[in-house]
């Protein structure tokens, strides 16, 4: 696939929130308008209820789900070797291989389903190791194949009929001896001797092949028609015909149909490399997602595999990025978080600003490039700003965020107070969710000085719902701590109305860490952090600062 045809995926972090989804959609649209190239918004995880509400509210299709951006078979150059019918002759298959410079041919049906493969080795084996004089009939060879292989013409008979009984023999003896070894339904290779032709037909041969272009008399033709004997005339001599005749057999008799090793366009190259190395075949068929044959690949094709092109929005950490990001070609990063651990193969466009929302940065980029923001895009960006800044209440919110949000609300025709209330209520409807789904809905991992910890967060306008959730989360957090290998886990139950967070904690040293970092005393089983609503700006910096000491 050429670079021109390859899409660029604009994608947020693994546990997407409203900002990462809306920013990805809006930025992909901006890039497409500016360049005319294919930029595709994607998501690395499932939508939460808040974001789904935004999509439904404004009639927007959510971005495609992209679980992994590692290199796949569809990202490499697939050789479009055309499939052939199982009925073509070995000679025809050999000719195609030489013309196309390939060693393997795929055999497909009229619906492009893969029926088998045949290799040069299979053809060679059929020629060098087969000595059975009845193999031509055993293979049920069509007379048309024989005509093509011998460059012959049909004198009497139907080219679409089959030679499916008897053996192949050369009539080198006189007619008296021929009567002793010609049997009914045999195929007889002979010359211009009238007596031999007559004898073969009277012995009920299925077919006679007349060599060196010798004429066939009307008497012989008439007798052959009466006896249902096929007559074929070829310009080749007897030796050449005997040498070529087996090459007229259909490839279905020799093709491989069982235990075929095929790959799918969706397979990841890291996985297929091991299979290729183990089997050491020259070529492997590739099937599309629908199961139909697409083309062939070899180990050599893997050397020219093209990495997926990615623009990261709303994050810059490998631990939060979509799976396979280390194998992708990162083109840009647009973010408002602290800088962390993503490595790139070459210099990238990087825009990081201390704002409350990535959508604010995207809004600025629309303004800077002079691209008009349509009503739906304005609604997306405004929703993201309201969500990430908790309707301008978060300490991460700047005047720039507020100004952008108000300008976008005006374009979109949004009443911010009413819309924010509906959006947050949709996002905090947690009663029907599994505990694991709630915990990982907005969960991020961090590390400092060989200590790894994770922090999840739920924002709600319903204090009673947060209280009920607490009793469900603690046992789950204990289980996760033991299963994940993370030293400490925290969960923020954030009350948007009261602008405070109840912080749950598990793990050795977690109580002391928060007590020192936030300078607060714990309650019975949690910390009440008044005025703390932001994980990014209020909780994480305090924890990191304490761990550095």
Q: pLDDT tens-digit profile of 39-67?
A: 999 999 999 889 999 999 999 999 999 99
Q: Structural domain boundaries of the chain? A: 8-70+307-427, 74-127+253-302, 140-248, 435-548
| pLDDT value at 468 more than 90 | no
Q: Is the pTM of this model over 0.85?
A: no
Say which CATH superfamily domain 435-548 falls into.
Answer: DHHA2 domain (3.10.310.20)
Cα 251 to the center of its chain, rounded Å: 32
- Distance, CA of 122 to CA of 115 (rounded, Å): 16
Three-state SS at 464: helix
- Within 485-525, where are the H helices? 510-518
Nearest C-alpha neighbor of 377 from the set 338, 401, 412, 342: 412
At the topology level, CATH places domain 74-127+253-302 in: CBS-domain (3.10.580)
Check: CB of residue 220 under 8 Å from CB of residue 197. yes
Quick: pLDDT tens for 476-531.
999 888 777 789 999 999 988 788 999 999 999 999 999 999 999 988 889 999 99
Calpha distance 423→386 (Å, rounded): 9
Beta strands in 262-381 (DSSP E): 263-264, 284-287, 293-297, 309-313, 329-335, 349-352
For the sheet containing 8-11, what is the strand order? 64-65, 39-43, 8-11, 309-313, 329-335, 349-352
Tell the burial category of 61 from Cβ atoms under 10 Å away from its Cβ (0-12, 13-18, 19+).
exposed
Could you tell me how far CA 415 lies from the centroid of its own chain?
42
Please give the pLDDT value at position 1. Answer: 44
Cβ proximity of 482 and 514 under 8 Å:
no
pLDDT band at 3, cuts 50/70/90? very low
Helices of type H across 142-268: 143-149, 175-181, 194-202, 218-226, 238-244
Distance of CA 179 to the CA centre of its chain: 65
pLDDT at residue 431 above 70? no
pLDDT score of 275: 86
Classify domain 8-70+307-427 at the CATH topology level.
Answer: inorganic pyrophosphatase (n-terminal core) (3.90.1640)
Q: Which CATH superfamily is domain 140-248 in?
A: HprK N-terminal domain-like (3.40.1390.20)
Rg (CA), the chain: 37
Q: Is the pLDDT of residue 142 over 70?
A: yes
pLDDT in tens, 161-175: 999 999 999 987 677
Whose CA is closest to 474, among 444, 494, 504?
504
Question: Span 318-345, mean pLDDT?
Answer: 87
């Amino acid at each position: 696939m050429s670079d021109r045809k390859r899409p660029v995926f604009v994608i947020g972090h693994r546990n997407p929130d409203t900002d990462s989804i809306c920013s990805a959609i809006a930025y992909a649209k901006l890039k497409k308008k500016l360049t005319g190239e294919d930029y595709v918004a994607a998501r690395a995880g499932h939508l939460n209820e808040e974001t789904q509400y935004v999509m439904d509210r404004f009639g927007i299709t959510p971005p495609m789900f992209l679980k992994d951006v590692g290199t796949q078979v569809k990202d490499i150059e697939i050789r479009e070797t055309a499939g052939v019918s199982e009925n073509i002759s070995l000679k025809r298959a050999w000719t195609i291989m030489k013309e196309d410079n390939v060693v393997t041919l795929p055999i497909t049906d009229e619906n492009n389903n893969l029926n088998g493969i045949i290799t040069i080795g299979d053809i060679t084996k059929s020629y060098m190791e087969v000595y059975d004089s009845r193999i031509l009939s055993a293979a049920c060879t069509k007379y048309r194949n024989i005509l093509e292989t011998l460059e012959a013409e049909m004198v009497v008979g139907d080219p679409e009929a089959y030679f499916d009984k008897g053996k192949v023999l050369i009539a080198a003896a006189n007619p008296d001896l021929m009567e002793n070894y010609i049997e009914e339904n045999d195929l007889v290779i002979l010359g211009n001797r009238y007596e031999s032709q007559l004898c073969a037909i009277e012995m009920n041969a299925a077919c006679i092949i007349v060599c060196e272009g010798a004429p066939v008399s009307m008497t012989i033709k008439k007798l052959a028609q009466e006896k249902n004997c096929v007559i074929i005339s070829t310009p080749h001599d007897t030796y050449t015909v005997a040498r070529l005749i087996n090459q007229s057999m259909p490839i279905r008799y020799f093709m491989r149909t069982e235990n075929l090793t095929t790959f799918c366009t969706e397979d990841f190259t890291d996985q297929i490399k091991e299979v290729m190395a183990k089997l050491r075949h020259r070529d492997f068929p590739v099937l599309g997602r629908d199961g139909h044959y697409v083309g062939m690949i070899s180990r050599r094709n893997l050397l020219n595999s093209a990495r997926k092109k990615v623009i990261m929005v709303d994050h810059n950490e490998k631990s939060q990025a979509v799976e396979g990001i280390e194998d992708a070609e990162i083109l840009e990063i647009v973010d408002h978080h602290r800088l962390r651990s993503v490595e790139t193969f070459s210099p990238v466009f990087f825009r990081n600003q201390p704002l409350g929302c990535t959508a604010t940065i995207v809004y600025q980029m629309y303004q800077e490039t002079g691209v008009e923001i349509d009503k739906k895009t304005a609604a997306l960006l405004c929703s993201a700003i309201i969500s990430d800044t908790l309707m301008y209440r978060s300490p991460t919110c700047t005047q720039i965020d507020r100004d952008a949000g108000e300008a976008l609300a005006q374009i979109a025709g949004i009443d911010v107070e009413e819309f924010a209330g509906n959006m947050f209520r949709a996002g905090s409807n947690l009663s029907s969710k599994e505990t694991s789904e709630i915990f990982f809905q907005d969960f991020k991992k961090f590390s400092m000085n060989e200590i790894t910890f994770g922090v999840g967060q739920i924002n709600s306008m319903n204090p009673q719902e947060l209280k009920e959730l607490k009793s469900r989360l603690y046992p789950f957090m204990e289980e996760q701590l033991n299963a994940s290998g993370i030293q400490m886990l925290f969960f923020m139950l954030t009350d948007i109305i009261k602008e405070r967070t109840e912080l749950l904690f598990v793990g050795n040293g977690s109580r002391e860490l928060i007590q020192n970092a936030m300078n607060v005393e714990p309650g019975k089983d949690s910390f009440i952090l008044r005025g703390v609503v932001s994980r990014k700006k209020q909780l994480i910096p305090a924890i990191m600062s304490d761990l550095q000491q």
